[in-house]
Structure 1
Amino acid sequence: MSGTEALIEAAKKRAAYAAVDEFIRDGMKVGVGSGSTVVYVVERLVQRKNEEGLNITCIPTSFQSLNLINDGGLNLGDLNRHAPLDVSIDGADECDEKLNLIKGAALTLEKINVFNSKLFVVVADYRKESKVLGQKWKKGVPIEVLPLAWRAVSNYIVEHLHGKPILRMAVAKAGPVVTDNGNFILDVDFGEMADPLKVLTDVNRIPGVLETGLFVDMVEKAFFGTADGGYVTVDRKGERKVFQ
């Protein structure tokens, strides 16, 4: 790991710890997302459990977060028993100035958790922050689709929404990536999105689409680790604070 990469990881860790310390209280029901920053979120939750007896129930969005919760000895819950959740914490692939997101991990389960949470908090690094979605993130908006409909959905997106879809392929095996729900992922390049809500609405109207990785008007506060090892916070009112 290079010096720059080490600083970024340290900054992500600081931002994750700050998010947990600000928003997590004893007795809460907490949605735990997926991705690299969530490792630090769970790490801090485990520390607080061991140091102060923090007693929370964690609801995972993927096998990754489920394993982190179990390995850390945290209480494991599920939405059927514990909704609504007090807060969900997750990462992002890109976050615009209005705190709209592109997310591409376990997007359907993540969105279900977020929708059923009183608050949604994002932890990422400075490279994920942009003015509009699609400005920095060039891998497209992930769309989870039923396997039997992926070609039809792709054709519709090209013809009517002028997107450029690519079926996400697996790395360690032949064939497409299969989600935890048994579906396929289309990564769709819509270019820069000045109106992500319209894109979200148009895509969700297509039969065969289960969910999209656009999270619009859902974030309460974002924590971004910075290149110098500090972090920045931005809330839904647009207030920005810098921490060294």
Structure 2
Amino acid sequence: MSDANERIESAKRKAAFRAVADHFNSSMRFVGIGSGSTIVYGVEAIKAHLAANPPPPNHMNWFVPTGWNSRKVIEEAGLLPIAFDSLPGDAMLEVCFDGADEVDEELNCIKGGGACLFQEKLVACRSKKFVCIADYRKDQKRLLTNWPSIPIEVAPIAHASVLRELKLLGSTNAKLREHSLAKTGPIQTDQSFYIIDAPFKTLLSALDVKNGHDGSGKDGVWDVDTLAARIKQINGVLEVGIFAGMNGVQAQRAGLQGGARPVAVYFGLEDGEVMVKKAAEIE
């Protein structure tokens, strides 16, 4: 492993351990576990915490995966997975730990690079709080700065019509995500859906809109919330890889359960430190 890769992996691990130390405890019953390389360190941190702080007698810690990969990570750590659709109807997840492909200064996220976005959003929105773990490369002022496109999960039968609609919205080079070996065809999610990767111009934030910028799609310029809602309206779209809107704290105050936007993001930095960005509601 190169020095640069070692720094990145070290940054992810330190961010994960800090996030778990701040937001997990052994008395929690249901905890969401996201997908991707960063969350491997989150599970490692949870396992270490439970070893040092055993749960109360007769208490079970259950971990809700966002896909097949995260379920395997949970199982390999010796923790107990429970499927999302096996949760008791009145149960809320105390916290969900997940990564992101890019995070803006308002804590909006792009997710879905690993093709698990629908289940990731299900778990985030069933959680009292979504805590995001990332490395320094993911920290940007606006979405679609370094990350090139928005992942969109679509029904296979509708993928061509969704591509056409996205072009009308200004994504002139949206593409169906395929395996590197062309003959194996499109990548399929755990729902057997396809993923479309749709590039757009850098997205405006809520602050940009408040300051008078037009995020309605004119000249292909969108703000985060408007574009997410517009794509979701397209027939055949299951979910959009923009995690925005309310966070869990805001949702519960509004009488809802959880929210797609994180309450805090833990960025592992190159110098070995961890930078924490929190939503205003929990600062």
TM-score range, shorter chain: over 0.9
- How does the TM-score come out when normalised to structure 2? 0.81
Q: CA deviation at 1:76?
A: 1.6
Asked if 1:185 is matched to 2:209, the reply is no
CA shift, 1:227, in A, is 1.0
* 1:171 shift after superposition: 2.2
The root-mean-square deviation of aligned C-alpha atoms, in Å, is 1.6
Name stretches of at least 5 consecutive residues in structure 1 with no aligned partner: none
The aligned residue for residue 94 of structure 1 is: 102
Structure 1 CA distance for aligned equivalents of residues 281 and 167 of structure 2: 35
Cα distance in 2 for residues equivalent to 1:117 and 1:145: 24
State the partner residue of 2:2: 2
User: How big is each residue's C-alpha offset from its partner over 1:208-244, in whole Å with a ceiling of 9 and x where there is no partner?
Assistant: 000011000321000001111221000012999xxxx
Aligned with residue 213 of structure 1, among 241, 265, 271: 241
Hey, which bits of structure 1, 4+ residues long, moved more than 4 A? none
Residue 156 of structure 1: aligned partner: 165
- 2:65·2:84 contact (CA, 8 Å) conserved in 1? no
Structure 2 CA distance for aligned equivalents of residues 8 and 135 of structure 1? 19
Shift of 1:31: 0.4
**What whole-Å deviation, never above 9, does each CA across 1:87-128 have from its counterpart, x for those lacking one?**
101000000000000001200000000011100100000100
1:64 counterpart SS class: helix
Query: How far apart, in 2, do the equivalents of 1:154 and 1:236 lie?
Result: 34
Radius of gyration: which is bigger?
2
Native 8 Å contact 1:222 1:234 kept in 2 = yes
> What TM-score, normalized to structure 1?
0.93
Q: In the aligned structure 2, how far is the partner of 1:44 from the partner of 1:2?
A: 24
Match of 2:176 in 1: 167
Unaligned runs of 5+ in 2: 205-222, 246-260
- 1:59-89 Cα distance to aligned partner (Å, 9 max, x none): 0001111001111111222333243111101
Report if the CA contact (8 A) 1:27-1:57 is conserved: no
* SS of structure 2 residue aligned to 1:84: coil
Total equivalences in the alignment:
238
Which of 142, 164, 167 is the aligned partner of 2:151?
A: 142
**Contact 1:17–1:44 (CA under 8 A) maintained in structure 2:** yes
Residue type of the partner of 2:66? T
Question: What residue is the counterpart of 1:67 in the other structure?
Answer: 72
Following superposition, the deviation at residue 174 of structure 1 comes to 2.0
Bigger share in strand: 1
Contact 1:98 1:238 in 2 (8 A): no
Cα distance in 1 for residues equivalent to 2:129 and 2:83: 17
Q: Give the partner amino acid of 1:76.
A: P
Residue identity opposite 1:63 in structure 2: W
